[in-house]
């Protein structure tokens, strides 16, 4: 498993980003969507869900790794197919992250959640490679 320091920093980063995304969706996104035309509003909603999907996948993966670190499961169990990071088809799509029609706050969340998801996917790939 990744070192506990790396894990704590990544866990804290993910949790902070989840709180920021929740606050954005709860307090800002609705207002911004109301000001947008119908198509941009729909894209905003879809991209906000993409942020949520990425962060949920990463947090679930990190919780599996925490269970390994705490001795509750083996690395092999945590990296079993059913427990791996999933949703790549949705989470690795970054086609709208640079779209200036999307609000800056949403673009920032998209970019940071994409980067985080990619980092965890690379880490998982290395860990799976070591098991094989």
CATH number of residue 65's parent domain: 1.10.8.930
In this predicted model, what pLDDT tens digit does every residue of 20-79 receive, in sequence order?
A: 999 999 999 888 988 989 999 899 999 999 999 999 999 999 999 999 999 999 999 999
Q: Which of 26, 16, 76, 75 is nearest to 48 (CA)?
A: 26
- Torsional sign, CA 23, 32, 56, 113: negative
Where in the sequence is the domain holding 120, given as residue range(s)? Answer: 4-131
- What's the number of domains the chain is made of? 1
**Structure tokens that stand for 86 in this block:** 């999933």
Q: Report H helices in 24-74.
A: 30-35, 38-69
* Whether the Cβ atoms of residue 59 and residue 18 lie closer than 8 Å to each other: yes
pTM over 0.85: yes
């Amino acid at each position: 498993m990744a070192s506990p320091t790396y894990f704590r920093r990544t866990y804290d980063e993910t949790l902070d980003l989840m709180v920021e995304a929740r606050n954005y969706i709860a307090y800002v996104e609705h207002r911004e969507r109301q000001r947008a035309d119908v198509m941009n509003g729909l894209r905003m909603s879809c991209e906000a869900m993409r942020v949520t999907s990425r962060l949920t996948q990463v947090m679930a993966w990190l919780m599996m790794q925490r269970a390994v670190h705490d001795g509750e499961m083996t690395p092999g169990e945590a990296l079993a197919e059913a427990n791996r990071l999933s949703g790549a088809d949705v989470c690795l799509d970054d086609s709208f992250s640079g779209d200036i029609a999307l609000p800056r706050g949403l673009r920032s969340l998209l970019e940071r959640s994409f980067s985080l998801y990619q980092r965890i996917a690379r880490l998982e790939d290395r860990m799976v490679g070591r098991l094989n």
